[in-house]
DNA sequence: GAAACAACCGAAAACGATTTCGGAAGATGG
DNA sequence: CCATCTTCCGAAATCGTTTTCGGTTGTTTC
């Protein structure tokens, strides 16, 4: 099929060892033959066999980013994260591969690691699985979690500052005069979500506003899953004047439900999202949101795992990156009576 | 590190060969030892080395889907395509990997193929590159192009029916009484785009309507890149009563420009998109669009490349999958005087 | 002029699996 | 009882690299 190292050796009447050393720039071989070898290598379109090389060297120079294809919205996150991650990996001489996990085969990740397909793992928030993480720790396999804070000291993560994000969102709404501020949260337990909820609660209480449990609703993060919870909120006897959604997709649903209820956004109800999605720009009105520096997150996560591959004994990294409030059209000064 | 086949052999006082055969289900080994081997294999958490196995067998059971991270909108496409592709690959015993191409390293794909990292390639529309495709053909490497029709007979592709899509869009607008129908097209040359344009032209001419060159404008497919071209259209002395955008993103831009010009959508101007994006649901009005069966496209493309891996001599597949007109709120009966 | 030293190159052993081929038992058949 | 056939297992080659360890030359040093 493709040319091997032996082909070059035979054509040049050299040994395999010399060719290999020439290609890898050892000082063990004269410049003349080195050049000669390199020339014929490109001539023959030689590309070292990944399998053979990885077998011998014991590493692959590949890191795997795992994502569950069943979860649709991860792709939004992914698109932001990918450029930073891919470029950084390249800078470290690593190859970034995206592995698709399906629900049918949860062991995929571990298998890939144990089979030596990759040298490191970037774990997407949503695949948080206790057993997986423990297995990786056990095997001392380099990995980093992206987008979710993990309670275990030993695991590295890079995560946006969800807590501050919530606080900023609520403070923004408070500054606009809102007092009845609703919050959507995810049913699953998880630190990320808790951080968001904590931020909401803290911001309200430190402003001296009592928590109204009815203003906190649960929703999953699927297309249209924000519809029903928003209806629930807007059907209250005293509905909120502002809604703090934990994701732009939910905010979009909220906007459409508001319209359904004959409410104008932002005149009658303010809505704020989270994620800074590009899609938030094309709604009417555009969504006020908290933008995560996705590209930076991708870059840092990759860096962390590459460092861990290079120096396995490094201490774990816990990085919380700041988010930014982007005020657009979906929030406005509260105009109703107090 | 992890257990090898030799570890199992030594522990059981068997030879490597026997262990290997036991694990691979050869009839060459008694049921008793087979069970024994399997039990200890799982006990030791054995996972065959991907490198060693691939080196010996000459295949990897992996196929690579390549996408350029620099292009933002491919991710919209990807999210739709991925579930189908991943599941299908699994069904064929293949592993779907996503490779990120960066602009820095255009040769990445060829390198991965020649290094034997993967057995097949799914090429994303946007990475159409003559040299790459020719190199793959030359090497007789199994691959399929997804989302773009390729002129070369020898290359397999799975592509939505852009031509029929355009025809359906125009016919829909014609049926609503529109006669001045504008069309946005991409500056790059490419069969997909030509098919769209051809559909537009054919539908109009077969309805006996003369083509007005001023109603055909070019635009790239980036956030907000549809703004300027739409302004151009609506500034005409006799502006179009309907706009046929080649992507939902462009349609969104068109809607906002229409509002900027004080025109109501769909009352004053009808707008139709392409892609069936979810985002098209949250605009006001919701966008009438032509939906591609993305999941099916992902599934079929994967199937095709898997078949080609299994039987290299199969004839190439050229599949054009039908699209579906989804009438939503952005198109309406033409109300102006004729 | 012998000894030490570079500078180059090659033989061979890995890496961990798969697969071919043959051999040693035991079972079967005539 | 010998020949033939199964059944089960192991030795060894192989995939394409990398890397260690010597072995040639030719050159320098005292």
CATH value at residue A15:
1.10.260.40
Task: For nucleic chain C, give residues with Cβ below 7 angstroms from it.
Answer: A 13-18, 27-33, 52, 55-56, 58; B 1, 4-6, 16-17, 20-21, 23-24, 28, 46, 48-49, 52-53, 55-57
Instruction: Decide which of B272, B292, B312 is a domain's last residue.
Output: B292
B70 at the A interface (CB within 8 A)? yes
Rg (CA), chain A: 26
CA angle, residues B298, B302, B307, in degrees to nearest 5 = 150
Shortest CB distance from A283 goes to which of B112, B249, B282? Answer: B282
- At residue B85 the predicted structure's pLDDT band, cuts being 50, 70 and 90, is very high
Q: In terms of domains, do A39 and A109 share one?
A: no
Alpha-carbon distance of B96 to B63, in angstroms, equals 5
Express each pLDDT in A233-262 by its tens digit: 999 999 999 999 988 889 988 998 998 899
Express each pLDDT in B276-326 by its tens digit: 776 677 677 889 999 999 999 999 999 999 999 999 999 999 999 999 999
Shortest CB distance from B117 goes to which of A50, A83, A283? Answer: A50
Sheet harboring B242-244: ordered strands across? B216-218, B181-185, B242-244, B270-272
- At residue B190 the predicted structure's pLDDT band, cuts being 50, 70 and 90, is low
Which nt sits closest to B49, CA to C1'?
A: C16
CA quadruple B203, B221, A97, B84: dihedral, nearest 10: -30
B30 at the A interface (CB within 8 A)? no
CA quadruple A295, A300, A305, A311: dihedral, nearest 10: 150
CA of A81 and C1' of D30: distance in angstroms?
67
Q: In terms of domains, do A86 and A202 share one?
A: no
Q: What is the DSSP letter of A187?
A: S
By 3-state DSSP, what share of chain A in percent is helix, strand and coil, each rounded to 5? 45, 15, 40
CB contact under 8 A, B49 and A55: yes
Q: Which residues make beta-bridge pairs with A144?
A: A122, A156
CB contact under 8 A, B78 and A75: yes
Express each pLDDT in A8-41 by its tens digit: 999 999 999 999 999 998 888 999 999 999 999 9
Shortest CB distance from B116 goes to which of A51, A79, A279? Answer: A51
* Greatest Cα pair distance in chain B: 93
Q: Give residues 238 to 297 of B whose Cβ lies within 8 Å of A.
A: 249, 252-253, 256, 259, 278-279, 281-284
Position B328 in a domain: no
The span from the first CA to the last CA of chain A, in angstroms, equals 78
Phi and psi torsions of A42, nearest 5°: -70, -35
Q: In terms of domains, do A153 and A301 share one?
A: yes
pLDDT of amino acid A127? 56
> Looking at the C1' of nucleotide D10, which residue has the nearest alpha carbon?
B15
Q: What is the mean pLDDT of chain B?
A: 90
Asked if A27 CB < 7 A from strand D, the reply is: no
B83 at the A interface (CB within 8 A)? yes
Position A335 in a domain: no
Residues of B in contact with A247 (CB under 8 A): none
CA of A62 and C1' of C13: distance in angstroms?
27
Rounded mean pLDDT, B164-179: 97
Q: In terms of domains, do B248 and B172 share one?
A: yes
Position B336 in a domain: no
Q: What is the mean pLDDT of chain A?
A: 90
Residue (of B125, B130, B201) closest to B157 by Cα position: B125
Q: In terms of domains, do B125 and B202 share one?
A: no
Q: In terms of domains, do A38 and A100 share one?
A: no
Residue ranges of the alpha helices (H) in A92-215?
108-114, 130-138, 162-175, 191-206
Shortest CB distance from B278 goes to which of A70, A82, A223? Answer: A223
How many other CB atoms are found less than 10 A from the CB of residue A17?
13
Distance from CA of A204 to the nearest CA of B (A): 30
Compare all CA atoms of chain B with the CA of A2 and give the residue at the minimum distance.
Answer: B114
Q: Which helix (H) or strand (E) holds B116?
A: none
Rounded mean pLDDT, B53-61: 95
Distance from CA of A12 to the nearest CA of B (A): 22
Position A240 in a domain: yes
pLDDT of amino acid B338? 43
Among A48, A50, A96, the residue to mutate for chain B (most B Cβ within 10 A): A50
Rg (CA), chain B: 26
Q: Which residues of chain A have pLDDT under 70?
A: 1, 72-73, 75, 125-128, 189-192, 278-279, 282, 336-338
Alpha-carbon distance of A329 to B56, in angstroms, equals 61
pLDDT of amino acid B217? 94
CB contact under 8 A, A97 and B102: no
Position A213 in a domain: yes
Compare all CA atoms of chain B with the CA of A78 and give the residue at the minimum distance.
Answer: B75
Phi and psi torsions of A139, nearest 5°: -80, -5
Q: Which of A52-66, B133-147, B215-229 has the lowest mean pLDDT?
A: B215-229
Alpha-carbon distance of B71 to B11, in angstroms, equals 53
SS3 A123: strand
CA angle, residues A125, B61, B293, in degrees to nearest 5 = 65
Full residue range of the structural domain in which residue B214 is found: 162-292
How many other CB atoms are found less than 10 A from the CB of residue A26?
12
Sheet harboring B62-68: ordered strands across? A318-321, A156-160, A143-146, A120-124, A62-68, A95-101, B95-101, B62-68, B120-124, B143-146, B156-160, B318-321
Q: In terms of domains, do A233 and A87 share one?
A: no
Phi and psi torsions of B319, nearest 5°: -120, 125
Among B4, B46, B50, the residue to mutate for chain A (most A Cβ within 10 A): B50
Asked if B283 CB < 7 A from strand D, the reply is: no
Is B136 in contact with B79 (CB distance < 8 Å)? no
CA quadruple A255, A261, A267, A268: dihedral, nearest 10: -120
Asked if A10 CB < 7 A from strand D, the reply is: no
Position B266 in a domain: yes
CB contact under 8 A, A252 and B282: yes
Beta-carbon contacts below 8 Å between A and B: 127
Q: In terms of domains, do B211 and B259 share one?
A: yes
- The Cβ-side half-sphere exposure at A172, using a 13 Å CA radius, reads 25
Distance from CA of B96 to the nearest CA of A (A): 7
Alpha-carbon distance of B94 to B62, in angstroms, equals 5
Rounded mean pLDDT, B221-243: 92
Position A333 in a domain: no
Asked if A46 CB < 7 A from strand D, the reply is: yes
Q: Which of A122-126, B141-145, B182-186, B232-236 has the lowest mean pLDDT?
A: A122-126
Shortest CB distance from B97 goes to which of A54, A98, A139? Answer: A98
Which nt sits closest to A15, CA to C1'?
A: C10
- At residue B246 the predicted structure's pLDDT band, cuts being 50, 70 and 90, is confident
Instruction: Say what the pTM is.
Output: 0.89
CA of B51 and C1' of D24: distance in angstroms?
36
Can you give the CATH number for the domain in which B304 is found?
A: 3.40.50.2300
Rounded mean pLDDT, B22-43: 92
SS3 A272: strand
Q: Which two tokens stand for residue A2?
A: 């493709």
Sheet harboring A270-272: ordered strands across? A216-218, A181-185, A242-244, A270-272
pLDDT of amino acid A279? 67
Number of domains in chain B: 3
CA angle, residues A176, B223, A266, in degrees to nearest 5 = 20
B222 at the A interface (CB within 8 A)? no
Q: What is the DSSP letter of A253?
A: H
Among B65, B74, B92, B117, the residue to mutate for chain A (most A Cβ within 10 A): B117
CB contact under 8 A, A75 and B75: yes
Identify the residues numbered 52 to 111 in chain A whose C-beta atom is closer than 7 Å to any atom of strand D. 52-53, 55-57
Alpha-carbon distance of B225 to B205, in angstroms, equals 29
Q: In terms of domains, do A206 and A122 share one?
A: no
**Rounded to whole angstroms, what are the CA distances from A111 to A107, A114, B238?**
6, 5, 64
Position B207 in a domain: yes
Q: Which two tokens stand for residue A252?
A: 């979009």
Q: Give residues 181 to 220 of B whose Cβ lies within 8 Å of A.
A: none
pLDDT of amino acid A338? 43
pLDDT of amino acid B227? 93
Chain C positions with a protein C-beta closer than 7 Å: 7-21
Q: In terms of domains, do B178 and B288 share one?
A: yes
Q: In terms of domains, do A108 and A135 share one?
A: yes
Compare all CA atoms of chain B with the CA of A46 and give the residue at the minimum distance.
Answer: B114
Q: In terms of domains, do B172 and B130 share one?
A: no
Alpha-carbon distance of B288 to B24, in angstroms, equals 54
């Amino acid at each position: 099929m493709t040319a091997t190292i032996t082909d070059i050796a035979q054509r040049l009447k050299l040994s395999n060892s010399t060719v290999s050393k020439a290609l890898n720039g050892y000082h063990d071989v004269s410049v003349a033959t080195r050049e000669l070898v390199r020339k014929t290598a490109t001539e023959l379109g030689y590309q070292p066999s990944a399998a053979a090389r990885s077998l011998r060297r014991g590493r692959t120079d590949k890191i795997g980013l795992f994502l569950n294809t069943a979860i649709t919205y991860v792709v939004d996150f992914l698109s932001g994260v990918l450029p930073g991650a891919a470029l950084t990996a390249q800078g470290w001489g690593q190859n970034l591969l995206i592995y698709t996990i399906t629900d049918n085969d949860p062991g995929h990740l571990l298998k890939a690691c144990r089979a030596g397909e990759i040298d490191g793992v970037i774990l997407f928030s949503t695949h948080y699985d206790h057993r997986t993480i423990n297995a990786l720790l056990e095997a001392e396999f380099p990995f980093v979690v992206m987008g979710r804070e993990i309670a275990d000291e030993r695991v590295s993560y890079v995560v946006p500052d969800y807590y501050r994000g919530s606080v900023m969102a609520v403070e923004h709404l408070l500054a606009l005069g809102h007092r009845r501020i609703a919050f959507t949260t995810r049913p699953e337990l998880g630190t990320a979500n808790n951080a968001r909820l904590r931020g909401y609660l803290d911001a309200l209480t430190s402003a001296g506003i009592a928590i109204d449990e009815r203003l906190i609703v649960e929703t999953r993060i699927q297309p249209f899953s924000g519809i029903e919870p928003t209806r629930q909120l807007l059907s209250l006897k005293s509905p909120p004047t502002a809604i703090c959604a934990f994701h732009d997709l939910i905010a979009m649903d909220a906007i459409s439900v508001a319209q359904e209820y004959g409410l104008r956004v932002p005149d009658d109800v303010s809505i704020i999202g989270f994620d800074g999605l590009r899609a938030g720009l094309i709604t009417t009105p555009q969504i006020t949101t908290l933008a995560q520096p996705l590209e930076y997150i991708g870059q840092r996560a990759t860096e962390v795992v590459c460092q861990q591959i290079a120096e396995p004994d490094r201490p774990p990294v816990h990085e919380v990156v700041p988010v930014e409030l982007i005020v657009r059209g979906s929030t406005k000064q509260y105009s109703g009576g107090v």
